[in-house]
Structure 1
Amino acid sequence: MTTINLTNYQPAWQQLALDFQETLKTYPWYQASSHIGSTAMPKVLARPIVDIAVLVTDVNATVKALAATPVPTQPQTYQLTFDGQLMHVILTTVTADYQTLINFRDYLNAHRTDSRKYTAVRQTAQQAQNYYAAKADFVSGINGKATEWLATKDQHEHHDRTVRAELVNMCLIRNPETDEVVVENKIDSQWAGLTFPGGHVDPGESQVHAMQREVYEETGLTVNQLQLVGTVTWVENATGDVSLGTLYTTTDYHGNLLAGSYEGAISWQPLASLTPDKLAPGVAEMLQVFTNPAINEAFWGADDTKLQLF
């Protein structure tokens, strides 16, 4: 029983494959070739054997010209050494079979979860009596997935994912000595209650600069050392247009707090006193994003009735 060793991807494998493929092009039976297998998958562990799929018109002539020897238990696969590197050459005269090998590579390179599973399957099979048979069922399943994926690949890649996004922000300014925070008492009839300084990002403006500008305009404070703690997203319609908010906290501030603005009164309030009944709609959920490191996002889907937390 031979142990199959898996190792990290080596960029040199790609160049070796290209060099070898150039030599193949000189033969009259050659039609096409492609670097396949795990050494062509940068995100997976690999056997240190470079696999090349070759479409030919005459398998026997190819084997003889390359002085290759059959790989036991691997149909259509032959081994040779090129520039000091062990290589497996998979030979076929059937275009569909050649394409299946390429599709397997392309699918795993495009699907990180399945590529991880492929590594796990091969790690389990490393000391199996027949390494290739041990991973055969997984390979067959991926070939089925790859066929389905390729049938709709162009549709997915060319689907217009553009949506309208309104960028907004909000900041929790905290006094670490008193554990008080700056709040605004909104007088907006549609969104009344306590909330935190924030507003819109102007076109061409950075998120951080917009946050600093909004805080200064609304509170008179200059804030620095803003810490991004999460996001809040409202899906506005079935098309997927969104309002996307970035949520920041800071304890680095200076200046004189304004008494209020056209939006409402400004004051320091104990963080512990900010119960949901005092807060504007949705702010209680956002406060959890601000204060709970395990929560990173508040989200309102098109059909939701309140913010969900993730």
Structure 2
Amino acid sequence: MEKTILTNMVMIEDGKGNVVVQDRIKTWKGLAFPGGKVEKGESFVESAIREVKEETGLEVSSLQLCGVKQFQTELDERYIVFLYKTDVYKGTLVSSDEGEVKWIPLNQLKKADTVEDFDQLLEVFQKHSVSELYYEQNQVNVL
């Protein structure tokens, strides 16, 4: 049986063209959307809501599944990221030990210091015709 790691990432929009980004400071460095691992017994949506609260201080709801990102790790585990977006939130941004969080205009992300593959991730978040980002032997496929 294949070992699988389940995670999530959430694009939070303010309705004015801005999104929440986190300047990740651990292994995957650069600007990205908040998110993290799904814990045992937790639904995918519940995990995304919890991770956003832990990393940003915001309480989100009405999450829409945009697609997935997946790849094999160096330990031959399948790593799956469920990609959600929402414009329903309340609270005030608070940074965490995962990195500083802030609002940034969505149209500035292409020029920003984002994490590796973020341009391809944005395609999954924004295009209805794209639902998967898949890595196969060092080749990136957007499907």
Shared fold per TM-score greater than 0.5: yes
Deviation at 1:191, TM superposition (A): 2.1
Structure-2 residue corresponding to 1:292: 127
Q: How does 1:169-180 map to 2 (within 5 A)?
A: 169-176=8-15, 178-180=16-18
Deviation at 1:235, TM superposition (A): 1.4
Structure-1 residue corresponding to 2:138: 304
**Greater helix share, structure number:** 1
C-alpha spacing 1:163/1:270, structure 2 compared with 1 (3 Å): same
Larger relative contact order (Cα-Cα within 8 Å, sequence gap ≥ 6): 2
User: Hey, what's the Cα distance between the residues in 2 that align with 1:276 and 1:168?
Assistant: 26
**Equivalent position amino acid for 2:42 in 1:** E
Which of 78, 81, 85 aligns to 1:249? It is 85
Deviation at 1:256, TM superposition (A): 1.1
| Secondary structure at the counterpart of residue 103 of structure 2 | strand
Which of 274, 295, 298 aligns to 2:109? It is 274
Deviation at 1:282, TM superposition (A): 1.7
What is the root-mean-square deviation in Å for CA atoms of aligned residues? 1.5
User: Hey, what's the Cα distance between the residues in 2 that align with 1:233 and 1:254?
Assistant: 30
Q: 8 Å contact 1:169–1:211 — kept in the other structure? A: yes
Structure-2 residue corresponding to 1:228: 65
Deviation at 1:236, TM superposition (A): 2.0
Structure-1 residue corresponding to 2:38: 201
Once the two structures are superposed, what CA deviation does each residue of 1:197-244 show, in whole Å capped at 9, x if it has no partner? 1000001110010000000000011111000010000112585x2001
Aligned residues: 143
**Greater strand share, structure number:** 2
User: Hey, what's the Cα distance between the residues in 2 that align with 1:182 and 1:237?
Assistant: 30
**Equivalent position amino acid for 2:104 in 1:** Q
Q: 8 Å contact 1:276–1:284 — kept in the other structure? A: no
The unaligned stretches of length 5 or more in structure 1 are: 1-161
The unaligned stretches of length 5 or more in structure 2 are: none
Q: Which has the larger radius of gyration?
A: 1
Once the two structures are superposed, what CA deviation does each residue of 1:229-264 show, in whole Å capped at 9, x if it has no partner? 10000112585x200110000011111111x11121
Deviation at 1:276, TM superposition (A): 5.7
User: Hey, what's the Cα distance between the residues in 2 that align with 1:199 and 1:284?
Assistant: 19
Deviation at 1:277, TM superposition (A): 5.2
Q: 8 Å contact 2:31–2:112 — kept in the other structure? A: no
The structure 1 segments of at least 4 consecutive aligned residues displaced by more than 4 Å after TM superposition are: none
Once the two structures are superposed, what CA deviation does each residue of 1:25-58 show, in whole Å capped at 9, x if it has no partner? xxxxxxxxxxxxxxxxxxxxxxxxxxxxxxxxxx
Q: 8 Å contact 2:53–2:59 — kept in the other structure? A: yes
User: Hey, what's the Cα distance between the residues in 2 that align with 1:185 and 1:300?
Assistant: 23
